[in-house]
Copies of this chain bind each other. A is one copy, B any other.
């Protein structure tokens, strides 16, 4: 049985993941050494291997956890009108991603550093998230509320547009998050509603 009181494991474990997340986001997976992560945590490199079998798995767990939290955090409300479901999605997506810039960054930048198996697992989670939006767009198209030539393309277009916020938005900048969300919602709504 693992020790609880006085165990460093419960402290060091999260610190390892936090340091890896920050450093991967800042410098890129390939450019961050295990020694650099260990130094950030305050231990020697060898100690990291109590918390991850290897560097690859460390990255994979960060990406997987992020995607799972993303999926768990959004719940569609199919009783609403499609336009309101879409509004909720836009609001959620921008807020959730603005809260987690590092996780979002590595989720887009470090996919190629995953082994094929790990990449497949993360891709499947991402596709699940995209499907949530596509379902909303399809509902609106079926109801005649939306005018969309191809819902798959519209899904990817909207997500790309919304996720782009993360490349420039900073808390305390010229615009508040609410202002940003308002404008993006205006653009997204107009881009899909029937003309």
Contacts and interface: CB of A to CB of B under 8 A. Distances in A.
Interface stretch (A14-22, A35-43, A60-68, A156-164): A156-164
A101 interface: no
Number of copies: 2
Contacts of A112: 26-28
Q: How large is the interface on A (under 10, 10 to 19, 20 to 34, 35 or more residues)?
A: 35 or more
A157 B184 contact: yes
Interface string A132-172: 00000000000000000110011011111101100110000
A44 to B, nearest CB: 24
A72 interface: no
Interface string A105-122: 000010011000000000
B28 A157 contact: no
A150 B31 CA distance: 37
Contacts of A154: 183, 187
A190 B153 CA distance: 16
A192 B189 CA distance: 11
